[in-house]
Amino acid sequence: DDRLAGALAALGDRAVGLAADLAEPTTGRRAAHLALDTFGRLDGAFVSVGGPPTGAALGNTDDEWRAAFDSVFLAAVRVTRAVVEVAGGPVRLAYVLSTSVKSPIPGLAISNGLRPGLAMWIKQLAAELGPQGSRAVGLLPGTIRTERIGALYDTPEKQAANARSIPLRRFGEPAEFGRVAAFCLSDAASYLTGSVIAVDGGLLPAL
């Protein structure tokens, strides 16, 4: 994959790549072992899966729901299980969720249905792993300027209209989201666990 090769070239020896499907049950274990074999230790994981198909509440097929549950929900569970087992000690875990955890997004019924459940699973995970010194947090990105946004808002007019609904009046940049994720996984956040944190420019009307 050219994009993977380009990212690895930019990161140099700080990264190693694995082209795989997170819906495949063995991917989490393969990735965990690759990290351990490459760097000699495994400190945790930053888990991000692709967005499920768009659709109204009754607009998606059973097959789309099942496939999304496998790739969005079970993929996160499998990766976590593998990382905890392979690391053999305290780990730091962060999960990319969505603002749909707290408020439904029109046209994204599958995300609205699955992400809140995954957030609750992360809350339980944090409580169960906490006594061993492990931490787990969920991150709720708002409208971040990625390829996914281009698919959801496919014209400049739609993008401008969406930006006007955000208190900061603009889309977030990937680096802005990345800095929050890096903090959550760092020693500076050593007393942070079981939380979900919105990185959304103030978009969510809920606390």
pLDDT band per the 50, 70, 90 thresholds, residue 200: very high
Domain 2-199 coded CATH 2.102.10.10: no
pLDDT value at position 12? 87
The 135-141 sheet, strands edge to edge? 44-47, 92-96, 135-141, 196-199
pLDDT exceeds cutoff 90 at 150:
no
DSSP letters spanning 7-54: HHHHHGGG-------TTSTTHHHHHHHHHHHHHS---EEEE--PPPPP
Per-residue pLDDT, averaged over 25-33, amounts to: 96
pLDDT digits (tens, 9 = 90+) for 71-101: 999 999 999 999 999 999 999 999 999 999 9
pLDDT of residue 63: 98
Residue 160 φ then ψ, to 5°: -65, -40
pTM recorded for the entire structure: 0.93
Amino acid at 73: F
CA 6-94-182 angle, 5° bins: 60
Are 121 and 69 contacting, i.e. CB atoms less than 8 angstroms apart?
no
